[in-house]
Amino acid sequence: DKLSLKAGSREGSQTLTNCSIISPLGPIRVQFPKSLTLEEVIRKNPDVTQGGLYKPLNCTSRKKTAIIIPHRNREHHLKYLLYNLHPFLQLQQLNYGIYVIHQAGSFTFNRAKLMNVGFKEAMKDDDWDCLFFHDVDLIPEDGRNLYTCDRFPKHASSAIDKFGYVLPYGSYFGGVCAFTPKQYMQINGFPNNYWGWGGEDDDIGNRVVLSGMSVLRPSIVYGRYKMIQHSPDKGNEANPERWDLLDKTGQAWRQDGINNLHYKLLSKELLPLYANITVDIGFRP
């Protein structure tokens, strides 16, 4: 009968058509509701499954993107990022997963090393074809900033409000960037030896060029982000070694990166909105 036929066709996922690559997307009004709770974010995202995974329901997506967020002591920012990012990614009809890489303990923060851990751990779960390395305090403001990878590594945050919606300098590579696994391996991942604030983003940008690739960026119309204001973090003071390290990227990048990464995985929890990976990454030698 009609009813059972209908139910039958809904079950057969092979019959789904491919998702169209570009949906009618445009500028987004980023929201920060005052008394937002994580429970509310969970309620608003009923189709996100354990570990922060999502697949479009009505079509088959050809794109599979992991979002890697380095984190410590920014729960408030994380809540607002998740609130805005889940619907943003769902509108783009992506298969995606969100990973929060949490640095355990109170030694100096190391953003780039946490990203390397995120890459390793995410690739254990799935054959992601793109990884977005994403600061917790940056909220994308235009749906046309596609969270997919291209022929070369991509610097997605080309226009942050804090810098007047333009690049602060031509080679800036901070905030949000994206690599295919192959591109990531080609630059030997990110440096592990930048402890504290600053420098590691320039090092990553240098690696892209040193390994023979170019940097792609969305136009400053699409690459707009709001940065959530914050005061300097304890344990992430400006790194006095950053200039010396940057002088040596040319010699160091093949030795220091994903090929000499050491860390201790403390836990991996599949929470409703993201996979929470807690890691001991050691300290500045």
User: Which residues lie near ligand UDH (CB under 6 A)?
Assistant: 70-74, 109, 111, 135-137, 174, 197, 232-233, 235-236, 238
| Nearest Cα to Cα of residue 146 among 93, 69, 74 | 93
Please state, as a whole number, how many other Cβ atoms lie within 10 Å of the Cβ of residue 251: 9
Least distance in angstroms from the C-beta of 192 to ligand UDH: 15
Residue 154 sits at the vertex; the CA angle it makes with 227 and 169, to the nearest 5 degrees, is: 60
- For 176, the enclosing helix (H) or strand (E) is strand 176-179
* Dihedral angle sign, alpha carbons of residues 285, 115, 141, 137: negative
Name which of 19 and 277 has its Cβ closer to ligand UDH. 277
92/255 Cα distance (integer angstroms)? 37
| CB closer to ligand UDH out of 61 and 263 | 263
Q: How far is the CB of 66 from ligand UDH (least distance, A)?
A: 16
Report the residue number, 72 or 207, with the smaller CB distance to ligand UDH: 72
Judged by beta carbon, residue 86 or residue 134, the one nearer ligand UDH is: 134
Q: What is the amino acid identity at position 157?
A: S
Question: Closest separation between CB of residue 56 and ligand UDH, Å?
Answer: 27
The smaller minimum CB distance to ligand UDH, of residues 74 and 86, is found at: 74
Strand partners, 224: 159
CB of 85 to ligand UDH, least distance (A): 13
CA dihedral 182, 185, 186, 190 (to 10 degrees): 130
Give the shortest CB-211-to-ligand UDH separation in angstroms: 24
- Pick the closer one to ligand UDH by CB: 46 or 232: 232
Residues 6 or more apart whose CB falls under 8 angstroms from that of 263 comprise 113, 117, 279, 280, 281, 282
Given a contact cutoff of 8 angstroms between Cβ atoms, the answer to whether 67 and 35 are in contact is no
The CB-of-2 to ligand UDH minimum distance in angstroms stands at: 52
